[in-house]
Chains A and B, each alone.
Chain A
Amino acid sequence: MSADFLYGIEVIINGLMAGVLYALVALGFVLIYKASGIFNYAQGVMALFAALTLVGIMEGQVPFAHLINAVFGTEIHHFGWEVPALLAIGLTVVVMVIFAWLVQRFVFRHLVGQEPIILFMATIGLAYFLEGVGDLMWGSEIKTIALGLPQGNARWLEDVTATWGGDDFYGFFVRQLDVVAAIVAILLVTALIIFAQYTKQGRAMRAVADDHQAALSVGISLNFIWVLVWSLAGVVALVAGVMWGAKSGVQFSLSLIALKALPVLMLGGFTSIPGAIVGGLIIGVGEQLFEYTIGGPYLGGATENWFAYMLALLFLVFRPQGLFGEKIIERV
C-alpha cells in the first residue's frame, strides 16, 4: 500500500476523532432543541464556561477576583486550596445545573411561544452574557486543564502500523488525547441515548419535544423538563469543553466550536440524536479529507474554515430537512 493512501487513511481517522467531538457539541444542541424548540447558540460558550469553572475550582481561584479587586482595592486571587479532579467535576456539574435553572427561570420562561428567531437571538445574547461572566469570574487568560489526560501520540499505534507502508510511512499518527476524547464521547452519547429511550425522565423529555400541550395534559412539568434538558446540555458542554480545552487550552476560541456544530446539525437535522452523530462524523472526515486532497495542494490551505458550511449548504439545498430530520409539510 502506498504511503499516500495510508496517509489518507490517517487523515480519515483523525477526521473521525474530530467528528466525534463535533457530534458531542451538536448533541447538546439537539437536546435543547428537541425539548424546547430553542436553538441554543450559547452551547459553545457553555462549554467554555464549564471548562473555566472546572479549572477555577480545581485551582482554588476566587470567583470574580478581578472585579472584587477593582471595586474594593483588594489583591486576592486564590483561596489557597486545590480541589481534586473528581470533586471539582462534581461541583462544576452542580454549577451547570444552577445555571440551567437560572436560565430557565429568568430568560426562557418569559419567552415561551415566541418565534424561533427571537429565541435564537436570545441565546446569542446569552452567549455574550455568559462569556462576559465567565471572564469576570475566572479571568480571560488561557488556562490548561490538569486532569491527568494523556498527552502525546499513541505510540503503540504508530509502531504497529509503521510496517504497513513503504519506507516513507512512519505509522498512523494519532494523538492519545484524541483517542481518549473519542472514547469518552462515544460513552456519553450512548448514555444519553439510553437515558432518552429507556428512563421515565427521558420519555417525558421526548414527550415535551413532540408537543408541549399534550405533555402538559399528561402531567409533565415543562419547567422541570427544560431545566433537566439544559442541565444535560451543560454536562455535555462540560465534557466537550474539557476535551477541546485539553487539546488547545481553555480560551475564548473554544466558544467558536459552537459555530462548527451548526453544519453538523444542518446535515443531521436539528432533532435527531443519531443525526448529530452521523453528521459530526461526516463533517469531521469531510473537512480533513477535503483539506488534504484539494484544499492544501490547490487552494492554499485553511479550508476547514468554510468547507463544512459549504458542504452543509449544498446538502440543504437538495434536502432541506437534513439527513434525518422530519420532512416539513407545509399546510395552509
Chain B
Amino acid sequence: MFYREAGDFKTTYKEDNQTFPIAFDRYRYWAVLAVAYCVIPFMINDYWANAILVPFLIYAIAAIGLNILTGYCGQVSLGTGGFMAVGAYACYKLMTSFPDVSIVIHIILAGGITAIVGAAFGLPSLRIKGFYLAVATLAAQFFLVWMFNKVAWFYNYSASGQISAPERLVLGAPVTGPNTEPWVQYMIALVFCTLCAIIARNLTRGSLGRSWMAIRDMDIAAEIIGVNPLKAKLTAFAVSSFFIGISGALFFSVYLGAVEVGEAFGIQKSFLVLFMIILGGLGSIFGSFVGAAFLVLLPVLLKVIGVDLLGWPTDLVSHLRLVIIGALIMFFLIKEPHGLAQLWRVAKEKLRLWPFPY
C-alpha cells in the first residue's frame, strides 16, 4: 500500500533518469546512508568491524569492479586476486617511499596504477573472447602473484617477503597500524565504498555503460552500430581495475595490516569475488553489495551455528561451507541466473502491487 508509483509523475527526463525513481526507494536509500554514517560508528566494536563490516565494504568495492568488467561488459576475468595485489603493493611502495603524503592519496593512486596494469592485461581481449579470455586472465593472476613473491623490490627486500602497513593518520586518527580504532577503519572503508559506488553508478548509466553492455550482448552488432571495441573493452578493464586496486589497497592497509601475497591474493580470491557477483547479480551495483554481504556473512554464520552452537570441529564446518557455497552457486545459476538482485527486483515488483496479486 505504501510502495506505490501512482501520482508520482516525472516531468523531466532528468527526473526519469534518476537512480531511485520510486519515492519510497529514495527515502530508504537516504535512511541506509544515515544509519551507516551516523549511527553505526558509535555502536561498532572490534568484532563487528573486523569480521563483518570492514571486509564487507572492501569486498563490495572489488565486487563492483569485477561486475563492471564481467557483468556489464561481459569480459570474464579470473585475475581479480592479482589485481588486488597490484593495488596493495602499489599502496605499500607509495606509503614507504612518500611517508608524508596522506594515505588517501596513496590509495587513489594505487587504484590508478592498477587501472593501467589492468588495461595492459586487457589488451588480449581485443583478439580473444569468452573462455579463452578467462584463461588469459589466469595468466595475469599467476604471473602477478609470482612477481610480487620473487621481485624483492616490491616488498622492500624484507626477509619474510611480507608487507605490512606502517601507521598512518587521517584527520588525526590512525587508520593503519596497531593503534587503529574499529570505527576509524569502518569509516574510511565506508567513505571509499560510497564514493566508488556513486562513480560506478554514474558510469554504468551513461553512454559508456551502454557501450559496455552492447559489447556484452552482441559485440559484432555493437561495433557495426558504432561502438569502438578497443575503447569500450580497455576502459572496462581500466575502470574495473581501478576499483579492484582500491579494494586491494584497503584490504592490505586498513583491514589486514600485513599480507603475504600467495595466501591473500591467490586464485581463491579471484573465485571469491566472482562468486559474489554471480550470487549477487551480474550487471547490478546493488547485486555487488548483496553478493559481498552474503559471502562475508555466510562463513561467520556457519561458524556461529556449527562451532559455537553445535560444537562441531572447525574443519568440518569449513568443509560444509564449501559444500554450501558450491551448491548455492549451482542453484542460483539454474534458478535465477541474475542472482539475488533479481529476486529483490521481483519482490519489489510484487510489492508495488501488494495487496493485489496482479
- Cα–Cα distance between A70 and B149 once the two chains are bound (Å): 40
Contact residue among A124, A313, A320 (Cβ-Cβ distance under 8 Å from B329): A124
Chain A residues with CB under 8 Å of B131's CB are: 39, 116, 120, 270
CB <8 Å contact, B323 and A132: yes
**CB of B3 to closest CB in A, whole Å:** 31
Chain B residues with CB under 8 Å of A312's CB are: 135-136, 139
Residue of A nearest to B133 (CB): A316
CB <8 Å contact, B326 and A111: no
Question: Cβ of A306 < 8 Å from any Cβ of B?
Answer: yes
Contact residue among B134, B139, B271, B326 (Cβ-Cβ distance under 8 Å from A132): B326
Stretch in B56-64, B162-170, B309-317 with 4+ CB within 8 Å of A? B309-317
Residue of A nearest to B271 (CB): A124
Contacts A67-B316, A132-B321, A330-B220: A126 and B139 contacting too (C-beta < 8 A)? no
Question: Cβ of B130 < 8 Å from any Cβ of A?
Answer: yes
State which residues 268-314 of B face A: CB under 8 Å. 271, 274-275, 278, 310-313
CB <8 Å contact, A122 and B329: yes
**CB of A294 to closest CB in B, whole Å:** 13
Contacts A300-B150, A316-B136: A135 and B322 contacting too (C-beta < 8 A)? yes
Chain B residues with CB under 8 Å of A133's CB are: 323
CB <8 Å contact, A131 and B326: yes
Stretch in A10-18, A258-266, A275-283 with 4+ CB within 8 Å of B? A258-266
CB <8 Å contact, B316 and A111: no
Contact residue among B130, B322, B330 (Cβ-Cβ distance under 8 Å from A122): B330
Interface size, chain B (Cβ < 8 Å)? 49
CB <8 Å contact, A114 and B337: yes
Chain A residues with CB under 8 Å of B326's CB are: 125-132
Which of the four size classes fits the interface of chain A?
A: 35 or more
A-B CB pair tally, cutoff 8 Å: 139
Residue of A nearest to B126 (CB): A317
Residue of B nearest to A127 (CB): B326
Residue of A nearest to B135 (CB): A262
CB <8 Å contact, B136 and A313: yes
- Cα–Cα distance between A265 and B323 once the two chains are bound (Å): 28
Question: Cβ of B124 < 8 Å from any Cβ of A?
Answer: yes
Question: Cβ of A302 < 8 Å from any Cβ of B?
Answer: yes
Chain B residues with CB under 8 Å of A111's CB are: 333-334
- Cα–Cα distance between A132 and B311 once the two chains are bound (Å): 19
Question: Cβ of A22 < 8 Å from any Cβ of B?
Answer: no
Contact residue among B129, B220, B330 (Cβ-Cβ distance under 8 Å from A332): B220
CB <8 Å contact, B329 and A125: yes
Question: Cβ of A200 < 8 Å from any Cβ of B?
Answer: no
- Max chain A Cβ within 10 angstroms of own Cβ: one of B124, B131, B313, B315: B131
- Cα–Cα distance between A111 and B274 once the two chains are bound (Å): 19
CB <8 Å contact, A136 and B329: no
Chain A residues with CB under 8 Å of B150's CB are: 299-302
CB <8 Å contact, B142 and A129: no
Question: Cβ of A193 < 8 Å from any Cβ of B?
Answer: no
Main secondary structure of the interface of A (DSSP, over half): helix
CB <8 Å contact, A125 and B330: yes
Question: Cβ of A309 < 8 Å from any Cβ of B?
Answer: yes
Residue of A nearest to B322 (CB): A132
Chain B residues with CB under 8 Å of A157's CB are: none
Question: Cβ of B36 < 8 Å from any Cβ of A?
Answer: no
CB <8 Å contact, A121 and B278: yes
- Cα–Cα distance between A112 and B260 once the two chains are bound (Å): 41
Contact residue among A129, A301, A306, A313 (Cβ-Cβ distance under 8 Å from B327): A129
CB <8 Å contact, B329 and A117: no
- Cα–Cα distance between A176 and B152 once the two chains are bound (Å): 38
**CB of A163 to closest CB in B, whole Å:** 38
Contacts A129-B330, A130-B326, A132-B326: A309 and B278 contacting too (C-beta < 8 A)? no
- Cα–Cα distance between A236 and B74 once the two chains are bound (Å): 32
- Max chain A Cβ within 10 angstroms of own Cβ: one of B275, B278, B330: B330
- Max chain A Cβ within 10 angstroms of own Cβ: one of B124, B128, B320, B323: B323
CB <8 Å contact, A313 and B334: no
CB <8 Å contact, B334 and A107: yes
Question: Cβ of B127 < 8 Å from any Cβ of A?
Answer: yes
CB <8 Å contact, B128 and A320: yes
Contacts A305-B146, A309-B143, A317-B128: A136 and B135 contacting too (C-beta < 8 A)? no
**CB of B77 to closest CB in A, whole Å:** 11
Question: Cβ of B345 < 8 Å from any Cβ of A?
Answer: no
Chain A residues with CB under 8 Å of B337's CB are: 114, 118
**CB of B271 to closest CB in A, whole Å:** 6
**CB of B302 to closest CB in A, whole Å:** 12
- Cα–Cα distance between A67 and B311 once the two chains are bound (Å): 12
CB <8 Å contact, A313 and B319: no
- Cα–Cα distance between A312 and B275 once the two chains are bound (Å): 26
CB <8 Å contact, B329 and A132: no
Chain A residues with CB under 8 Å of B278's CB are: 121
- Cα–Cα distance between A205 and B248 once the two chains are bound (Å): 46
Question: Cβ of B246 < 8 Å from any Cβ of A?
Answer: no
State which residues 211-269 of A face B: CB under 8 Å. 259, 262-263, 265-266
Q: Which residues of B line the A interface, CB within 8 A?
A: 74, 76, 124, 127-132, 134-136, 138-139, 142-143, 145-146, 149-150, 220-221, 224, 267, 271, 274-275, 278, 310-313, 315-316, 319-330, 333-334, 337
**8 pairs of A and B residues whose beta carbons are closest in the complex:** A129-B326, A125-B329, A132-B322, A309-B139, A132-B323, A128-B326, A306-B142, A135-B319
22 A-B contacts (beta carbon < 8 Å): A66-B315, A67-B316, A111-B333, A111-B334, A114-B333, A124-B271, A124-B274, A125-B275, A125-B328, A127-B326, A132-B319, A263-B139, A265-B135, A266-B132, A300-B150, A305-B142, A306-B143, A309-B138, A312-B136, A316-B132, A316-B136, A332-B221
**7 extra interchain contacts, Cβ-Cβ under 8 A, other than A266-B132, A305-B142, A309-B143?**
A67-B316, A125-B329, A132-B324, A262-B135, A302-B150, A310-B143, A316-B132
Q: Which residues of A line the B interface, CB within 8 A?
A: 39, 66-67, 70, 107, 110-111, 114, 116-118, 120-122, 124-133, 135-136, 140, 259, 262-263, 265-266, 270, 299-303, 305-306, 309-310, 312-313, 316-317, 320, 330, 332
